[in-house]
């Protein structure tokens, strides 16, 4: 059964108190659910609906609008590489190609050992330190092939 800890349930109550309407804390609760469960599935939607008092259909509708709520399990390390213009001008395409070759996957895929998932994403707000990527929640900036090698080697 998917469930929050007592501590997380208290956090949900604190969140609810910040807004005058019942549905308002939903984005924050969905973030907590992704952190806790890794991704959102039918059981998670039911649980969030019960917890927030928002109909399950609406929970699903909101969750699927936003790109940060995982709908499926990813590898242990989720590499999100920016493909937008500033990163592209700084050589992001070469880095994407290098990572694809090295891990033998295409964007959107996970390695068979479940270690890495690669996604191409839109602007991360790191344009001055391009190319950039996020791994899980950490930013990695000013990437080059040597740096990428070091980063990947450090992620077991």
Partner 1 sequence: MELIVSKNFNKKDSYKLETYLAGGGYEAIKKCLDSMKPADVIEEVKKSGLRGRGGAGFPTGMKWSFVPKESSVPKYLAVNADEGEPGTFKDRLVLELDPHLLLEGIMIASYAVGIGTAYIYIRGEYKKAFDTVRNAIEECYQKGFLGENIFGKNYKLDIHVHAGAGAYICGEETGLIESLEGRRGQPRLKPPFPAISGLFMGPTVINNVETLAFVPSIINKGGEWFASIGTPKNSGTRLFGVSGSVEKPGVYELELGITARKLIYEICGGVKNGKKLKGFIPGGLSAPIMTAEELDVPLDFDSLAKAGSMAGSGGVIVIDESADIPKIAARTADFYAHESCGQCTQCREGTRWVSQLFNKIYQGRGQKKDIDLILDVCSNMMGQTICVLSDACAMPSIAFIKKFRHEFEALVK
Nearest residue (CB) to partner 1, 79 versus 134: 134
Phi, psi angle pair for 11, to nearest 5°? -60, -40
Tell me which stretch binds partner 1 (CB under 8 A): 5-13, 40-48, 96-104, 117-125: 117-125
Residue from 8, 11, 12, 23 touching partner 1 (CB under 8 A): that is 23
User: To 10 degrees, the CA torsion angle through 129, 71, 69, 16?
Assistant: -170
CB of 59 to partner 1, least distance (A): 9
Binding mask 41-70 for partner 1 (x = CB under 8 A): -------------x------xx--xxxxx-
For 89, the enclosing helix (H) or strand (E) is: helix 85-89
Which three-class secondary structure state does DSSP give residue 155? coil
Residue 9 in the binding site for partner 1 (CB under 8 A): no
Rg (Cα) of the chain, in Å, rounded?
18
Indicate the angle between helix axes 56-65 and 26-37, nearest 10 degrees: 80
Site residues for partner 1 per CB under 8 A: 18-21, 23-28, 30-31, 54, 61-62, 65-69, 83-86, 88-90, 122-130, 134, 137, 139
């Amino acid at each position: 059964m998917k469930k929050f800890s007592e501590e997380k349930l208290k956090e949900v109550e604190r969140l609810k108190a910040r807004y005058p309407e019942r549905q308002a804390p939903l984005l924050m609760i969905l973030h907590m659910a992704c952190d806790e469960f890794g991704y959102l599935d039918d059981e998670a939607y039911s649980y969030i609906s019960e917890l927030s008092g928002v109909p399950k259909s609406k929970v699903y509708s909101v969750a699927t609008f936003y790109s940060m709520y995982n709908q499926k399990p990813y590898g242990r390390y989720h590499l999100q590489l920016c493909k937008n213009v500033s990163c592209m001008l700084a050589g992001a395409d070469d880095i994407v190609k290098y990572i694809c070759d090295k891990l033998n996957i295409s964007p959107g895929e996970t390695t068979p050992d479940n270690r890495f998932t690669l996604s191409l994403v839109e602007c991360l707000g790191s344009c001055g330190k391009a190319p950039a990527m996020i791994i899980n929640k950490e930013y990695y900036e000013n990437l080059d092939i040597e740096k990428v090698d070091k980063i990947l080697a450090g992620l077991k």
